[in-house]
Structure 1
Amino acid sequence: MVSIPRATGAGFALGLMWGAAARVWMRLISTDPEFSWTGTGMILGSTAVCGAALGFLYGARRAGRSRSWRLLGLCWLFVFAGPGIVFLPAFLLGGLLHLRQIWCKVIGAAAVACGVLLLWILNQQEPASVNPATMYGGFLLLSVALTAGAAELYLPRPARRREPAVALAK
């Protein structure tokens, strides 16, 4: 059984790693790479805290807690404000990729594809001289990783074990 504090800590670490990967990707696709500690700190801090929220959701779901905790996932909307908006479809619907039903997988894949399309459309307005494999490949990898965390918004609680009924002796 996974404990909620352990899951929260793991979520924090995974969110921090996702934020670091996103920061490296942003640096690689930037035509004017300005590095600021403030911006990097905001990215890493917000993704780590939001990763901790998803880790908490994982632990709470595994412990059979109420579904109302899923509202914690809304903290990611802060991360996607501004330029991060291209990741929003992958977060909101991409988690459906991890469900069993085929229609859920199709919607989840379409959401990730919509994010790639949105990035392509935004790139057409201000064409960048960046390697397309780096831009779209990196975005796709980050989006797919994000869907794993976003799945906590959709996954059902595990089935509870029922204690066997004790037969009464007559």
Structure 2
Amino acid sequence: MSTVPEFSWAGTLAIVVLSAVLGAGVAVSSVARSRHGWRRVARLAVVPGMVMFAGQGLPFLPAFVVGGLLLRRRHPIARLATLVVVVGPAVLLWWSERLDEYTMLSAPYRVQIGLLLGMPLLATVLAFAGDLVWGRRVAVGGQSASPERARSSLLSDSSLEAPAGPA
């Protein structure tokens, strides 16, 4: 992505630290969501780690946000949109970086394969992380035949509730 790539310890450590902060935010949000139902404030735990998407990480932001929202949806349009946000940035970057702008020679195959395989793989992992933060909830425990208990099965184990009726 850069015409003059260079390695620096500060840049590498910043990427590692920001990734850890984002991962910790995803974990906090996911645990709070699974234990206490929808905790909207807990979703804010990922905001400090989203600084990672500034600059060169920007192509991965749609995979985390949009891909996380649509990942487990079954509608064909949602699946197509998820595929576009996961694979689309890699294809666009490959298209723009496949030729050297000065010599008009093809980029090395390792760079092209890295763009076409590595970026969608990282975007898929980020989409699953986004799903932990913004995706659909999964019912806790099995569904009950009783409509009253089925409604409460998303938040608690309805088998532990006292049966209704005369005492």
Q: TM-score scaled by structure 1?
A: 0.69
**Could you tell me how far 1:100 is from its partner in structure 2?**
3.5
Q: How does 1:1-150 map to 2 (within 5 A)?
A: 32-65=4-37, 66-102=39-75, 103-123=77-97, 129-131=107-109, 132-150=112-130
Structure 2 partner of 1:10: none
Larger Rg: 2
For residues 104-155 of structure 1, what are the alpha-carbon distances to aligned partners after superposition, in whole Å with 9 as ceiling and x for unaligned?
Answer: 3222112113322442354268657232112221111111111110112223
Structure 1 segments of 4+ aligned residues over 6 angstroms from their partners: none
Q: Residue 114 and residue 135 in structure 1: after superposition, are their counterparts in 2 closer, same or farther (change >3 A)?
A: closer
Q: Report the alpha carbon displacement of residue 73 of structure 1 after superposing the two structures with TM.
A: 2.8
Q: CA deviation at 1:166?
A: 4.0
Cα 1:130–1:78 shift into 2, 3 Å:
farther
SS in 1 for 2:121: helix
Give the 3 Å change call, closer, same or farther, for CA 122–84 of structure 1 in structure 2. farther
Indicate the percent of aligned positions where both proteins have the same amino acid: 30
Residue 106 of structure 1 aligns to which amino acid in structure 2? L
SS in 1 for 2:124: helix
TM-aligned CA distance change 1:118 to 1:71, over 3 Å: farther
Count of residues paired in the alignment: 141
The gaps in structure 2 that reach 5 residues or longer are 140-153
Which structure carries more relative contact order (alpha carbon 8 Å, separation 6+)? 1
- AA aligned to 1:40 is T
Cα distance in 2, alignment partners of residues 118 and 75 from structure 1: 28
The answer to which of 118-127 and 90-99 deviates more is 118-127
* In 1: Cα distance, 2:122 partner to 2:32 partner: 25
Q: CA separation in 1, counterparts of 2:99 and 2:43?
A: 36
Pairwise CA distance, 1:70: 1.5
Richer in helix (by share): 1
Q: Separation in 2 of the partners of 1:61 and 1:157?
A: 11
Q: Secondary structure at the match of 1:101?
A: coil
> What amino acid is the match of 1:139?
M
